[in-house]
Structure 1
């Protein structure tokens, strides 16, 4: 009688780790009915198994709103029905998890520990993201993706986490920014860094061009929030995102340290006081049109990236 086995190797972090342990499972190409399931966040690990004759790979997408609610409901109520008065609030809480199963499981645990009343759930719904981010198990599991990241990729990833939530980060713009910031030597290297971050499952493809190339990326909201906390812990505050950009106010706190100023949405702002930012490398004020760009911008010695939409005369030396 043939003995068959079923193995699960969960959350594998490197191709080398798989090479070290795969011999223990015997010949993976034997057709004896045995199966091995490997889960990983790293594309390199998936590629390292392609030598197997019978190999199937599946990329697990983020859950949609319906799937998120089904998972949350199952974790909170099991086989029981969800009370009708809690259903809408529960769906809102599930949606706030942005399709991330781990976040949904944490939210379900929090809900299971509170009173099953409409008022309790409504109060919890207002703070659910904060509770998820503060959960020790959630932080531990999510930050593994960051702590296993090669050091040369960390500044690029933290830089992307500085963009607003759900912001569509254009690759063409991002590559130029990474070069200007000095994170990479050239645009080719910047493009490779982005591919590496994608393969580490840290950034998501938002849109593609008609030729199949990647047009833009985004960062999952909860991962972004968690890594922004990490950035502060590591004293990594290199850029500013603000809907009402008044550099006179910002200068009081950041004039001696700020490296990048980027405006992400149309606003009426004051750009006076720009000369105080002596170390500024990036200035993107395309959406700031209340004032003309001051000529003092061309006195900023370290400036490497300039984007503006307001009318002004660019010096011939530029």
Structure 2
């Protein structure tokens, strides 16, 4: 257990902020940044001096063989595997990433798989490019569960959050024998570990994230498009939608930070096989027309970010198989929309994070299967009816920081209701220590972030307030003298 007490007065001056920033910069003095590019012109455009550029040659045949055998973990006693290793390594043409990825794919595989791999390379005149290595690793993954997880990782972008992957997997419901969020988290961590061992994923800057090489992602997205009929665009301009025959085959559509004009967005599209629709548009508060989702009856995951959803009440009501609904940073969430959401009986995950919702309707009590509720950063949320949260009997994770709700006033819910739930993870801000229930429902919590007292953004950097998705035990209490007592476990 670590405990710190910070004086508020000592942190309120602008000069203190400048001083702390200066110290932070001094700590990084002398650090070096390594930039890698396949095109020299890219580095030149970044004003990298010529004497700081180094050309890295490909690996020679002998070193390629040694690297391959090291990664695949075989010795020189098996002459057949040694021969196959040497021949396959040659096909990688000295590219370290191809050598490593191919070797990890063939590790622990039968020698017949090695032979077939070499024959395929020779017969089709393929080289061990990263694309081929990635596809080989993908084809040799042990089951469909692992393959689906890998393709989802590719669709999520660089340094994606593990928690977002967990929610996506729960939403799609393809994890065998998994029923709770805690079980899903553990399962996803195992799947990520296996993908990292195969060379398809790598560690990110944080344990809360995972990373994927761009060349691996490009190959994975090609596979996702061809095998799973997934349509993916990131930071692009969508000039026109795919043809109707393609839309009818798609199982997922991801539009991430794309430029889509209102005139180019159809009023309705027919996607009878679609299970995921993710839309994050660069035009803030883009309006989607009311009938847009009516012919997506198989939809399991719907993610809308920064959208005006004033016309979607009837359309969302049709999505009876929906398991994950995220309306984040959205505007015009009216009461009728929320009432219709209450009819989505299969919903496991519901997020209004950052949206302008003003009150939670009693109709949400009907969501008996709901496991994750996120109403964090809803600055206009004032009303949570008594008994609403306590009636969500399947709820495991609750995120409700930075909201303006006054607990136990104006017919609002009571914090004591949380003690009736089997919560394993909570992110909560309590305005006053006087509002604390006698039993602070810590018994079953696996992870929590609780701030007691009025928020003070000026202090947050010093308190090192964790992200809501980080799994840890964190309690900050604002004391009478204005200081904060910080406890992390």
Give the total of aligned pairs.
200
* CA apart distance, 1:197: 1.2
- What pairs up with 1:1-318 in 2 under 5 angstroms? 8=66, 10=68, 18=74, 23-24=77-78, 40-41=100-101, 42=104, 137-138=128-129, 139-151=131-143, 152-164=145-157, 167-185=158-176, 186=178, 187=184, 188-208=186-206, 214-237=207-230, 238-242=251-255, 243-244=258-259, 249=266, 251-252=268-269, 254-267=270-283, 268-272=286-290, 273-285=292-304, 287-292=305-310, 294-296=312-314, 297-309=316-328, 310=330, 311-313=333-335, 314-315=338-339, 316=363, 317-318=366-367
Structure with greater proportional helix content: 1
Contact kept? 1:262, 1:284, Cα under 8 Å? yes
1:85-121: per-residue Cα shift (whole Å, max 9, x none)? xxxxxxxxxxxxxxxxxxxxxxxxxxxxxxxxxxxxx
Larger radius of gyration: 2
* CA apart distance, 1:44: 11
Q: Secondary structure at the match of 1:183?
A: coil
1:137–1:14 Cα change, 3 Å: closer
* CA apart distance, 1:154: 0.7
Q: Secondary structure at the match of 1:217?
A: strand
TM-score, structure 1 length as denominator?
A: 0.53
Q: Secondary structure at the match of 1:8?
A: helix
* CA apart distance, 1:278: 0.5
The answer for unaligned runs of 5 or more in structure 1 is 1-5, 26-38, 47-134, 209-213
1:288–1:11 Cα change, 3 Å: farther
Structure 1: distance between partners of 2:66 and 2:127 = 25
* CA apart distance, 1:300: 1.0
Structure 2: distance between partners of 1:203 and 1:251 = 37
The answer for unaligned runs of 5 or more in structure 2 is 1-62, 80-98, 109-125, 179-183, 231-250, 340-362, 368-489
Contact kept? 1:12, 1:40, Cα under 8 Å? no
Contact kept? 1:156, 1:183, Cα under 8 Å? no
**Root mean square deviation of aligned Cα:** 3.5
* CA apart distance, 1:277: 0.9
Q: Secondary structure at the match of 1:191?
A: helix
Greater relative contact order (Cα < 8 A, sep 6+):
1
TM-score, structure 2 length as denominator?
A: 0.36
1:210-233: per-residue Cα shift (whole Å, max 9, x none)? xxxx21123222221222222233
* CA apart distance, 1:162: 2.1
Structure 1: distance between partners of 2:259 and 2:296 = 18
